[in-house]
Amino acid sequence: MKLTKRHIPLIAYLIFMVIPLYWMLNCSFKFTTEIMTTMTWFPETFTTRNYQHIFSNEVWRNSFVNTLTYVCLNVVLCVVAAVPAAYAFSRWRFRGDNHLFFWLLTNRMGPVAIFMIPMFQLYSNLGLFDTNFAVALCHCVFNLPLAIWILEGFISGIPKELDETAFIDGMSFPQFFVKVFFPLIRPGIGVAAFFCFMFSYAELLLARTLTSANSKPIVVALTRSQGAEGWDWGVLMAAGTLVMLPGLIAVYFIRNYIAKGFAMGRV
């Protein structure tokens, strides 16, 4: 493709967006003293000490494991609950269905801060405070309505006659759902899972409120990395680089579903 003057703003915008990411990666291989005293595009003294510190430190390792645990658990809970709910909203009509659907969306619209104290008291009374399950379940309040909304749009795009034809041919509902319906809505599931993953992975306020020491997530560990000598910027940059990897891996594996989902569904 031949570059023209019209491409210059786009190229400039892409460079502007990529520079902070490159700078974080660049600083992750520097000592903190070099980061604070000089500004270089490449490390003067290349070091992997920051990554070694993260992998050898039990707090950092546990934070990564805790984060991936409650994020994956949240995605599974949301998808398993959203698929039948979206099918019901799409295929059946019942009294108050539109009001119930709108009420679900209002949960997603609400500020996260208003749920902090009720959720803290609820999970403390249930003995779930400082557990991965508490954070995953709390994030369902926001992710489940979004997943239902996305999947309902996908399912509504599939003709209802397909269901009736399958039942006339003698298929049971589980057979129809697994063999016929599930492959058709797979892109929608991929999109819903992607958005649930990204919200739960990046959410800080509730994750910090509902955890203390045993289940501290990585986003909280990043805010508690100041020592007696100040911030260890090299370690923080290395941690920030590693934090981006799960999101990049998730996008890589479901990129085809995301592309189809953006073309077919409500997103």
Q: Give dist(CA 139, CA 170) in Å, integer.
A: 40
pLDDT of the residue at 79: 92
Say if residue 27 is in the same domain as residue 90: no
Q: Quick one: 22 and 142 in the same domain? A: no
- Give the C-alpha separation, 191 to 181, whole Å: 16
Contacts of 241 (CB under 8 A, 6+ apart): 24, 25, 28
What does the pLDDT look like over 236-264, one tens digit per residue?
888 888 888 887 887 777 776 666 656 55
Are 18 and 124 in a shared domain?
Answer: no
Amino acid at residue number 154? F
Does 103 lie in the same domain as 123? yes
Domain region containing 10? 1-47
If asked whether residues 212 and 106 sit together in one domain, one would say: yes
Asked if residue 109 and residue 43 are part of one domain, the reply reads: no
Do residues 104 and 128 share a domain? yes
**CA quadruple 56, 60, 63, 68: dihedral sign:** negative
Domain co-membership, 104 together with 199: yes
Residues 41 and 62 reside in one and the same domain:
no
CATH number at residue 182: 1.10.3720.10
Q: Give the number of domains in the chain.
A: 2
94 plus 223 within the same structural domain: yes
Would you state the pLDDT for residue 27? Answer: 85
Q: Are residues 182 and 137 in the same domain?
A: yes
Task: Quote the pTM value.
Answer: 0.81
Asked if residue 60 and residue 41 are part of one domain, the reply reads no
Digit-coded pLDDT (tens) for 118-164: 888 888 888 888 888 888 898 888 888 888 888 888 888 888 888 77
Rounded distance between C-alpha atoms, residue 197 and residue 201, angstroms: 6
12-51 pLDDT per residue, tens:
888 888 888 888 888 888 887 887 887 888 888 888 888 8
